[in-house]
């Protein structure tokens, strides 16, 4: 038996603003996010199965992440629910797709949220190994299952 890791890359554009932050990221600004989702499992070993030799069909992984993450986050503005209601209302009046998160929308918190969402959608026999989210070309946050047991 060999456990194999498979990874798929996704991209989306999203703006955010960090509430009560003392740096420039307190202002609404956007990023071109790059997301890597890695699953682990044993490849199917049954010649009669259509997915013989696969840990997961990359198309199935793409569907899970697209429907639950990319379609939701792409071209949205994510703001913290800690902001005053009046501020959130102004954002909603000026931007079409506002996500009010229950956390400060840092790269670290977003990657943990993505891991929680995807983790609940992965088919049995496969596990979420890691999620890496690039916020800029040189800055990213990672979530690993081994660190979160």
Which residues have a Cβ under 8 Å from the Cβ of 35 and sit 6 or more positions away?
Answer: 9, 10, 11, 12, 65, 69, 70, 114, 131, 132, 133, 134
**Residue in 16, 107, 129, 135 annotated catalytic:** 135
**Residue in 67, 75, 89, 94 annotated catalytic:** 75
Report the Cα 23 to chain-centroid distance in Å. Answer: 24
Catalytic (active site) residue 29: no
Catalytic (active site) residue 107: no
**Residue in 25, 108, 142, 144 annotated catalytic:** 25
d(CA 4, CA 44): 11
Residues with a catalytic annotation lie at 25, 75, 135
């Amino acid at each position: 038996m060999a456990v194999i890791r498979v990874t798929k890359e996704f991209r989306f554009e999203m703006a955010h603003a960090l509430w009560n932050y003392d740096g420039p990221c307190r202002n609404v600004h956007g990023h071109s996010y790059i997301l890597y989702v890695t699953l682990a499992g044993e490849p199917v070993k049954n010649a009669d199965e259509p997915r013989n030799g696969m840990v997961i069909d990359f198309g199935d992984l793409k569907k899970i992440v697209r429907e639950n993450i990319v379609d939701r986050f792409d071209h949205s503005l994510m703001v913290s629910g800690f902001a005053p209601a009046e501020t959130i209302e102004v954002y909603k009046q000026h931007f079409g797709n506002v996500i009010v998160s229950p956390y400060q929308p840092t790269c670290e918190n977003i990657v943990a949220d993505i891991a929680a969402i995807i983790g609940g959608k992965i088919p049995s026999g496969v596990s979420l190994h890691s999620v890496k989210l690039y916020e800029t070309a040189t800055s990213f946050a990672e979530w690993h299952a081994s660190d979160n047991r």
